[in-house]
Amino acid sequence: MRILVINGSPHPKGVIANLLKAVTEGLSQNADIEWIDAGKLNIRPCLGCMKCRRDPNGICVLPADDGHVMGQKLRRAEGLIIGTPTYWGNMSAQLKLIFDRNVPALMGEKPSGTPLPKHKGKPAVVVTACTTPWPFNWIFAESRGALAAVHEVLKWSGFKTIGRLAQPGTKNRPGASEKHLAKARRMGEKLNRF
């Protein structure tokens, strides 16, 4: 299975990166894994012109940048492993930029106007981390907000979210915890069975 891993954190070796790495450790040897650090990409923000939606190939009108490259990678992916730090109870801007620039790679519209998911039935897992300690990360929709925001993209794209993980309290206990790393590995193993 061709798995695209997107680290939505600007830290290539942060908590999110470690959790994502643990998910990939659970994958079988046969998995074809590609890892992208969103923070290293050069992507202009979406203009909101909607021209990509009318283009038969769904291509963005902006000059060539990593937004286009990510579109090709998303189209080819058979499974997604997405990580984002919780920023303002949401996904990171770095990650959202990839999704904003690539709506037609993910979903279309039927002539009736109803959404047309382009990745129906493919599996995805999502991990996040935040400084807010448990249970406030959940009560105040910090990590819950970030997971829900990514799920929104995945849902309309047709991906089935088969695993979600949120590590709270990263200020007082920096680094990925053993408990969360173990859960991340199990999520990778679950992806194999899909």
Ligand X SMILES: Cc1cc2nc3c(=O)[nH]c(=O)nc-3n(C[C@H](O)[C@H](O)[C@H](O)COP(=O)(O)O)c2cc1C
With CB under 6 A as the rule, give the number of residues binding ligand X: 17
**Cβ of residue 109: shortest distance to ligand X, in angstroms?**
32
- 3-class SS of residue 14: coil
The nearer residue to ligand X, 58 or 188, going by C-beta atoms, is 188
Helical H runs in the chain?
Answer: 15-25, 51-54, 66-76, 93-100, 103-106, 136-139, 143-157, 178-192
What's at 25, amino acid-wise? E
Six token digits for residue 81: 């492993």
The nearer residue to ligand X, 9 or 157, going by C-beta atoms, is 9
**Cβ of residue 21: shortest distance to ligand X, in angstroms?**
11
Give the number of other Cβ atoms within 10 Å of residue 72's Cβ.
Answer: 11
**Cβ of residue 86: shortest distance to ligand X, in angstroms?**
4
Subset of 108-167 contacting ligand X (CB under 6 A)? 129-132, 137, 142
What's the gap between Cα 28 and its chain centre?
20
On whether the CB atoms of residues 153 and 80 are closer than 8 A, the answer is no
CA gap 13, 107 in Å, rounded: 31
15 binds ligand X (CB under 6 A): yes
Binding-residue pattern over the window 37 to 76 for ligand X, x denoting contact by CB under 6 A = ----------------------------------------
Q: Measure the CA dihedral 182/13/37/107, to 10°.
A: 30
The nearer residue to ligand X, 85 or 104, going by C-beta atoms, is 85
CA gap 101, 52 in Å, rounded: 9
177 binds ligand X (CB under 6 A): no
14 binds ligand X (CB under 6 A): yes
Contact with ligand X (CB under 6 A) among 44, 45, 88, 175: 88
The residue whose Cβ lies closest to ligand X is 14
The nearer residue to ligand X, 44 or 171, going by C-beta atoms, is 171
Angle, helices 143-157/93-100, rounded to nearest 10 degrees: 10
Interface residue list for ligand X (CB under 6 A): 9, 11, 14-16, 85-89, 129-132, 137, 142, 170
